[in-house]
Structure 1
């Protein structure tokens, strides 16, 4: 790990504002207006805000929080915090007030940069009345908050910080609070060396990057995946970043960006696919792709409609992508590279190599990463981007490491003959049926998610005779369920899916039945984490008490009813 050259994130800002001062770095849409910020303009605003933070005379290394949807000033605020000598604490823009309050208090945040939020009123309830706020452009402070200053006013009134202030490689750069799929989130401590290594090398085995490349930033920058893949990479390689204003403007924003590098999570890749199939049914698409005279034009047309026609590297991560979806994009000429990483290693662990993909694999170790499979099947990692520990949690930090210094991922896996890693489940997600047999739910969930109308799945059944699959349909499918014929057809497809999946499982793993839930699991209602993973304990608490009554119906597919 020591043979990797050290590169630090502030180095990127200083390099590109010097070498490409007039090149556009950040492109921000806002209503009908689109604003470009060059490297020189970004450097100027960052230096002025860093000077303001210095004027507050906070102790070096003070924690400064950043709570906003992705935007150009999110990047600028993060850089200003670092340049001023402090530690940034990004907060997801879609948490409840209780979690916001916990993170701000636990991190001992001294200042909060506040931007646009998903649930502004709910999140604002977690902000202490006395905490100083800096509102990002276009944002108003919560009603009655006395200690508020606007970014624009501070920039106009504060001279820029001179020189090129630098941070040490082993200094704490940021606290990344985990998604909190169980309990309150933990603050993962990451150094400047970790951020720099990911920025420099996360793409290095799959592509050569440069200022000609473009990315769209729309997954939460508060998460390690987006921060490493998008922000850190852009600083190292001089990439141009475009931002997504809202879900309603996504199609416009991605077509504006025409990204050459694109990253997403399985749930969104599936949504993109379903959007295409609503306009061009699969049978018709297959026929057009099978015909040499139309295949090339159709591939280009479909990818153009998605805004992905110039993508040369497509990444998917956070959870497994169903093999059928991987194949669907491959048939369109888009090779999906699956990656694997965690907040604790700043999303820098494994990535698939072009031309070497294997369905179900997350690829080979990235530069400087070593891994092993423990006797209990757990994947254990050593990475140059490994965390310094959990903030204020020495016992949890110790529990996360082996006696000889390997990080316990909690994931189970296998390594094939070519050195590719395959994730087989989570240690803590194993449950025992009433027959005393252990079941790993994740591989079964991945198989069920192959159906185009199945968006999210949770396999559960601790203490039951057999496991059960809890299924959430896509929003498009749910709209059709009031139509008796459509519902009957889908039920037939789900029965066939159940039979085909069960045929691949050991007897103790076979699902007794599927339950189709009425509504949608979302971040806002607490069923999904901000990275769109299921909160298994919340789903089980909601649905497990009903399994016995559902089982008595003796149906292969059970439809949840409101109020049950």
Structure 2
């Protein structure tokens, strides 16, 4: 498959649909729209400003900001100027920011919307040139309006397919993040394969709100928009998210399991489960109720729903299916440009799988059950880490994903756990926590969960309840969790059955370091923090 680079796609839309709206950025409650021509001109001016800095070709330039129109523009401008973009999560603390900037030897950084601007900027060394997006008082050497005063670059450079486009630092749940090197060729191939599989057109509307520093948003939203010419809107703030979503009414909406759960809890807070089930059981009323709920959520025009980044409970997908929301689960990682498998088009009988491999992507299961992958989407290497690069590939060149899985006769893949997360109980039996966690998430009172039990007689589960659970008394919560525990244990082999569900009063977040920026749990840190609780001899099935 011959594909064009993202810059070539920008030139294409700049020429063929110059006046069509591309980016929509809300400021003070009003969406400001930029056409393809206006975006391309800003990209050319920012690229010109970077060239004026006389950095060596191929220099590394960081972007530290929440999602916004300037993020897209800067990403393209860095490429146009002949440099390499290094995104940093907007939630990153000083230690991570400092590590990424130092490890990647960044010459400059673009700083934008952040929640803790002063503290985060304190991690940026004075030797690194700072450029500021037009949001608040960001300490910088150059401001956005100054950069846009540069003359627009007249030429239209086209990078080679094997040129490095970006270094994406993994949000890893263990140790320092690794810098994944992706080329223009691997990124372009992934964006095109995605468009072909999901039947994306230039009529789509998407909302960009998941971190652009993560490969999923970079390919599935930024990349998809570039390769298909549709408009992208942004979220002004967390407080305006629901309103922005309703106003945009996206045709494609991709989220993560935790947010799908939050949406579900929001619906159930307005319509109690028993009443909703009753309404949805009446054929004539069901369609009207489901349509009304979809519209209130902002999904009145949505044709494709996706979930990724972490396992989603089949029970959650079943619940949404009753509302006419068919969530297609997908799987990928930074090391393969987020392009592994997809369960689109939706098939009810395949709920619980992560779908099939994209056309052109090879998947196999190794002797120890690991999912391994090969294809044009795979990374070049880890930056400055040849030993880790060697560890990431098999002798015959397949990418080791670290996920254990099974493939059925139709090529649908089911993840059965992470190789590194599987633990051994005191009985010498191995337990994979992820499938058990997925079963427990069927209980709508549970928001977060961590199954653990290394060297215990039987595993236990640490549970964080939803904010809505606080409306119930402890006896209701206990009864509900006991019922779930009994149901789940009945499905497990004897050595994997849980002794207890332990309710934790803390919440696990990116801010307190217990979640990655993509909302995966940092299992080893959670286990360390609650080691005393885990090791106690619990006599009750549910510890509240």
Q: TM-score range by the shorter chain?
A: over 0.9
Indicate conservation of the 8 Å contact 1:214/1:260, yes or no.
yes
In structure 1, runs of 5+ residues without a counterpart are: 560-564
1:247 CA displacement: 1.4
User: Which residue is equivalent to 1:8?
Assistant: 5
Which range moves more in the overlay, 332-341 or 233-242?
332-341
Distance 1:399 1:113 in 2: 33
User: Which residue is equivalent to 2:161?
Assistant: 169
1:334 CA displacement: 1.6
* Backbone CA RMSD of aligned residues: 1.2
Q: Which among 165, 171, 190 is matched to residue 198 of structure 1?
A: 190
**Per-residue CA shift, 1:83-140, capped at 9, x if unaligned?**
0000000000001101100000001000100001133233222111221101001232
Distance 1:104 1:17 in 2: 33
User: Which residue is equivalent to 2:331?
Assistant: 340
User: Which residue is equivalent to 1:557?
Assistant: 542
How is 1:127-142 mapped onto 2 (pairs within 5 angstroms)? 127-142=124-139
2:63 partner SS: strand
1:175 partner SS: strand
User: Which residue is equivalent to 1:448?
Assistant: 440
Q: Does 1:474 align with 2:466?
A: yes
Indicate conservation of the 8 Å contact 1:348/1:383, yes or no.
no
User: Which residue is equivalent to 1:356?
Assistant: 347
1:385 partner SS: coil
1:133 partner SS: strand
Distance 2:212 2:444 in 1: 28
Q: Does 1:52 align with 2:49?
A: yes
User: Which residue is equivalent to 1:250?
Assistant: 241
Q: Which among 527, 536, 556 is matched to residue 514 of structure 2?
A: 527
1:355 CA displacement: 4.3
Indicate conservation of the 8 Å contact 2:328/2:346, yes or no.
no
How is 1:372-383 mapped onto 2 (pairs within 5 angstroms)? 372-383=364-375
Distance 2:106 2:418 in 1: 33
Indicate conservation of the 8 Å contact 1:198/1:233, yes or no.
no
User: Which residue is equivalent to 1:562?
Assistant: none
Runs of 4+ in 1 over 3 A off after TM superposition: none
**Per-residue CA shift, 1:359-393, capped at 9, x if unaligned?**
21111110210011000000000021100010000
**Per-residue CA shift, 1:491-538, capped at 9, x if unaligned?**
111011111111111111111101111021000000100000000011
Q: Does 1:458 align with 2:450?
A: yes
Distance 2:116 2:316 in 1: 32
**Per-residue CA shift, 1:313-343, capped at 9, x if unaligned?**
1111111211111111111112111111001
1:174 partner SS: strand
Q: Which among 425, 430, 435 is matched to residue 438 of structure 1?
A: 430
Distance 2:56 2:322 in 1: 55
User: Which residue is equivalent to 1:517?
Assistant: 504
Q: Which among 148, 154, 160 is matched to residue 141 of structure 2?
A: 148
1:280 CA displacement: 1.1
Q: Does 1:403 align with 2:388?
A: no
Distance 2:516 2:375 in 1: 25
Give the structure-1-normalised TM-score. 0.95
Distance 2:261 2:346 in 1: 22
User: Which residue is equivalent to 1:113?
Assistant: 110
How is 1:265-304 mapped onto 2 (pairs within 5 angstroms)? 265-304=256-295
Distance 2:346 2:114 in 1: 40
Distance 1:475 1:384 in 2: 43
1:296 partner SS: helix
